[in-house]
Amino acid sequence: MHLTSADIQARVGELGARITEDYAGKEPLLVGVLRASYVFLADLSRAVPIPHRLDLVSLAGYGRALGGHAGVRIMKDLDAPIAGRDVVIVDLVVDTGLTLNYLLTALRLRDPASLAVCSLLDRPYRRLVEDLPLRYVGFTVPDEFFVGYGFDLDGLYRGLPDIHSLNK
């Protein structure tokens, strides 16, 4: 096991406290990146006691692009405009930063008041895009394959409460 449920919950609580402090008096919008972030988003939302809104976005990344599309695209867009809103993108892990960079670029065009990223896990040594507004990071993790807490293996095990490291 790489991270126990207790480790994760403690850290999510700390991240929530920081977001609460940073966005006091505002009404941030937490945007979860489907599908992996759904468990983290739910826990983080409960750790942020100030009023905030939730939304979800899904992207067709490389290897999942259907119909011969030549570039990344948004499969499920936000439900509401974000102009003037304080947006926090919630992701489970950032590694190359390619998908996140695309999402940030797309959302910046919609004139949010601010844009930040909260990721439970980070693999900075795999980064190809460096200038990401990664303001909140739970854990820096080694280059291992994980299942649980949103991570899947062929679509399974996302609901496990702990994060397990697998040798594939």
Partner 1 sequence: MPVFQAYCGRQPPRFVNQAELEVAKLLDFYGIRWEYEPRSFVLETDDEGRVIEAAKPDFYLPDQDLYVEITTMKQSLVTRKNRKIRKLRERYPDVKVKLFYRRDIERLAEKYGLSLAS
Binding residues for partner 1, rule: CB under 8 A, are 61-65, 70-72, 95-96, 98-99, 101-102, 105, 126-131, 143, 145, 168
To the nearest 10 degrees (0 to 180), the angle between helices 38-46 and 5-22 is: 60
Residue 64 CB contacts under 8 Å (≥ 6 apart), including other chains: none
150 and 92 Cβ atoms separated by less than 8 Å: yes
Which of these is catalytic: 43, 55, 91, 95? 95
Instruction: Report, in Å, the least distance between residue 29 CB and partner 1.
Output: 24
- Considering beta carbons, is residue 43 or 95 the nearer one to partner 1? 95
Distance CA 53, CA 101 (A): 22
167 and 8 Cβ atoms separated by less than 8 Å: no
- Considering beta carbons, is residue 15 or 36 the nearer one to partner 1? 36
- Considering beta carbons, is residue 100 or 116 the nearer one to partner 1? 100
Tokens 């990664």 map to which residue? Answer: 134
Phi/psi at 39 (5° precision): -70, -45
Instruction: Report, in Å, the least distance between residue 133 CB and partner 1.
Output: 15
Active-site annotation holds for 86: no
Instruction: Report, in Å, the least distance between residue 71 CB and partner 1.
Output: 6
The set of catalytic residues is 95
